[in-house]
Amino acid sequence: MRLLWRSQRQRGILVAMAVAFMAGLAGCGPTSSTVDPPVPAADPIQAENARLKQQVAELQKRLSALEPDTPVTRPLSDIDREVEIFTATHPITPVDQVLRRGARLPFDAVVTNTQWRRPGYSGVWHSTYFGGKYSGVEKLVELAAHRAFVYTGGLAASQQLLYGLGIVTTPESDATRGKNLPLQDTRGDHISLLILYGQVQSVTRLDKQVVVKVKPTEAGFQEVRLNTVDVLGKTGTSGGDSGTSTVLFEFVTPEGDPLDAYTADLTGLRKG
């Protein structure tokens, strides 16, 4: 009888423990206090407002890369303004006299492309590329208004020209760098002339003016390199001191008609 009573007592204890365990799993009973309270569902309106706020901020950032905050009119681009300042503050020799009296400079045509045409629109000008780095309307208009540029080194300057002019038209084109692309040597130990729709025939220096004869072409671009010492040294026949840091480059047709003009501050290259 004692054994039977003990077994019944043990069975009762086991049943009570099982009931308590199941009650805990069901979220009630003494173990229910350890269960985390349910997380309230996210407010869909609040989530949508947050998404719209982020989208507006992104659009404002893209817009600021495209244009100034307020409507402004600038009569001259930076390139044209620098040329105007130079011609107003320095004695200017007529092109025909520069060609007649100046010193001919040797040059090296390092890249010549006869097929390229400036695109109507380039993918890298879109405000979603590079954080809008090459999307600014003002800079794009300035570059579109010119066909000859002077490059004195630096990766940022070369990329601004390659992307801004549409020579490199997609980010993926970075894989083609060095393959018939200009301005790949960014060391700044030489002076490069980048000509669009033309090929250089001669370069003549007289004091602070450099006249570049360019034969116009229907397509393509050309990079011509000049020796820094040749450009910054004395021109011989002119007797002018070329130590002046700013030089005026005038690009003309073989007949001497003007094509473009560009000033370059060569201070950093004076030691060659």
Instruction: Identify whether 158 is part of a domain.
Output: yes
Instruction: Identify whether 132 is part of a domain.
Output: yes
Q: Specify the number of domains making up the chain.
A: 1
Instruction: Identify whether 32 is part of a domain.
Output: no
- How far the first Cα of the chain sits from its last, in Å, is 115
Instruction: Identify whether 14 is part of a domain.
Output: no
Domain hosting 90: range is: 78-269
Higher-pLDDT residue of 46 and 186 is: 46
Does the pLDDT value for residue 109 go beyond 80? Answer: yes
Instruction: Identify whether 53 is part of a domain.
Output: no
Instruction: Identify whether 72 is part of a domain.
Output: no
What is the model's pTM?
Answer: 0.76
Tell me: the pLDDT tens digits for 138-190? Answer: 999 999 999 999 999 888 999 999 999 999 988 765 545 556 789 988 777 78
CA distance 33 to 100: 100
Predicted confidence at residue 146, as pLDDT, reads: 97
Higher-pLDDT residue of 74 and 262 is: 262
Instruction: Identify whether 31 is part of a domain.
Output: no
Predicted confidence at residue 167, as pLDDT, reads: 94
- The lowest-confidence range among 213-217, 223-227, 243-247 is 243-247
Instruction: Identify whether 26 is part of a domain.
Output: no
Sign of CA dihedral 23, 25, 28, 32: positive
CB atoms inside a 10 Å sphere around CB 187: 7
CA distance 65 to 164: 14
